[in-house]
Amino acid sequence: MELFDLTGKVAVVTGGTRGIGLMMARGLLQAGARVYISSRKAEAGDAAVAELAAHGRAVSLPADLSQEEECVRLAAEVADREDEVHILVNNAGATWGEPLQSFPESAWDKVLDLNLKAPFFLTRAFLPLLEEAATDDDPARIVNVGSIDGLHVPPMHTYSYSTSKAALHHLTRVLAKELGSRRITVNAVAPGPFESKMMAATLETFGKEIAARSPLGRIGRPDDMAGVVVFLTSRAGSYVTGSVIAVDGGIATTR
């Protein structure tokens, strides 16, 4: 078996229509997987499928994953099409920036529902399909997309976002312990600054300063994110679980 080959594998990537999710979906396709992507907007899914077509077959299944019933419905729709799922990437997320004095309750509800509760409910909904795919030599894989803002204190007023990502990192470790006996690995990726819609305004204003914080002197590129998800979901990463991998050019770990 090729170390990084995903031929014949089935992957689901939430928030897979743009940014980090789209980078990961492309990497999985290039490694040979069939990929289902999900986002709230059907038109965004259709555009992403068209963009990804050069790399492999992607299918869009829209869902509002801030609601548990939608997490369950997404798993059921995939189950109608596939007997097993080898890879679940929990990437769909939201952020909110506002000063302490005016930071609203709705900003906690929106961000925690999507960033923390949705990965939990999706994991539970997809467990039967993941267990069907899992073997002793080649476990099924769950990859949660956290953030370096969950590893260090961010410079922005994103209270619910950074807290949700730190909690997701710990949920990753909790689930890794519980699901290991079911032949499923659970890891998290903690991206630093990458070009995405969520980061666009920040990078436009502070891009040079942010790049200068990294020992490598740049922000992330699509291949950087594609590479780490292929590692974690291929034979190469089969003995890695409960880990939080910073993909940030060293920003969070060297300052």
Domain containing residue 115: CATH number: 3.40.50.720
The answer to whether the CB of 158 falls within 8 A of the CB of 202 is no
The answer to whether the CB of 115 falls within 8 A of the CB of 168 is yes
pLDDT range class, residue 197, cuts 50, 70, 90: low
CA end-to-end distance (rounded Å), the chain = 39
Measure the CA–CA gap between 45 and 210, rounded to whole angstroms.
Answer: 30
Closest C-alpha to 166, from 149, 186, 182: 149
DSSP H helices in the chain:
19-30, 42-52, 68-81, 105-112, 118-133, 159-179, 200-213, 222-233, 251-254
Mean pLDDT of 9-29: 97
Mean pLDDT of 10-39: 97
Range of the domain at 48: 10-254
Measure the CA–CA gap between 178 and 251, rounded to whole angstroms.
Answer: 31
pLDDT digits (tens, 9 = 90+) for 149-162: 999 998 889 999 99
Is 90 exceeded by the pLDDT of residue 213? no
Q: Does residue 4 sit within a domain?
A: no
Closest C-alpha to 26, from 56, 60, 62: 56
Mean pLDDT of 225-250: 97
Q: Does residue 5 sit within a domain?
A: no
Q: Does residue 104 sit within a domain?
A: yes
**What per-residue confidence (pLDDT) applies to 135?**
97
**What per-residue confidence (pLDDT) applies to 75?**
98
The answer to whether the CB of 35 falls within 8 A of the CB of 233 is no
Is 80 exceeded by the pLDDT of residue 129? yes
- The mean of the pLDDT values for the chain is 95
Q: Does residue 16 sit within a domain?
A: yes
Catalogue the active-site residues.
161
Is 80 exceeded by the pLDDT of residue 234? yes
CA distances from 90 to 79, 128, 136 (A): 17, 16, 23
pLDDT digits (tens, 9 = 90+) for 139-152: 999 999 999 999 99
The answer to whether the CB of 65 falls within 8 A of the CB of 114 is yes
Number of domains in the chain: 1
Q: Does residue 1 sit within a domain?
A: no
Q: Does residue 204 sit within a domain?
A: yes
Q: Does residue 2 sit within a domain?
A: no
**What per-residue confidence (pLDDT) applies to 200?**
67
Measure the CA–CA gap between 37 and 51, rounded to whole angstroms.
Answer: 12
pLDDT range class, residue 194, cuts 50, 70, 90: confident
